[in-house]
Amino acid sequence: MFSIIQAAGWPIWPLIACSVLALALVIERFISLKVSKVAPPKLLDEVMAVTRNGVPGPDVVSQLEKSSALGEVLASGLRLLTNNPRCSDEELRAGMEGTGRLVAHRLERYLSALATIASAAPLMGLFGTVVGMIEIFGSQTPTGGNPAQLAHGISVALYNTAFGLIVAIPSLIFWRYFRARVDDYLLTLELAAEHLARHLISLRK
């Protein structure tokens, strides 16, 4: 592996840094976007059951808020009713929507960085290719050429091109995967919040 890095020359180091960063972002997103941390399947049903006879106490709401992203959105509606039982239906929905936007921003964290790596890696590989081509042309002289410099220039050009694609393709795949996963979560959170809002509104009538 070290011999490949040597053959690829100094332009390979930014690509290696991007590959390490992309791997760290992918691992972090896999951990953060677990179903149990974002939208546990039975949480809405549990909240509906608890609120059947009224808004639960502050301890229950705090526990719900800390349980998951969905719990945070649902707890915001319950806390709003606890602090202001006479709030309007629009205020209740607006409060939950505001919390939902904060949660959405947190779910989308680092996705733009992963997309940037997917876009920049091929360009960085192309830059390495240009550096290799410069070395190739620099090895040619009117009296002949330097075979060692020619071989090194070819290595720099090919290795950087290949490594740029190796970094970019998985980064793009994972970015699209996480983007779709976040979109699914956001739809789940939106529907659950609306369902709870209608339930809480019906309790007050």
Strands (E), 7-143: 140-141
**The pLDDT value given to residue 155:** 78
- The residues facing 4 across adjacent strands are none
What is the pTM (predicted TM-score) of this model?
Answer: 0.84
How many Å apart are CA 20 and CA 129, to the nearest integer?
21
**The pLDDT value given to residue 108:** 94
Centroid of chain to Cα 178:
6
Token duo for residue 160: 């950087």
**The pLDDT value given to residue 52:** 84
**The pLDDT value given to residue 133:** 82
Low-confidence stretches of the chain (pLDDT beneath 50): none
How many Å apart are CA 150 and CA 142, to the nearest integer?
15
**The pLDDT value given to residue 88:** 84
Token duo for residue 27: 């691992």
**The pLDDT value given to residue 144:** 59
8-state DSSP, 54:
S
**The pLDDT value given to residue 130:** 86
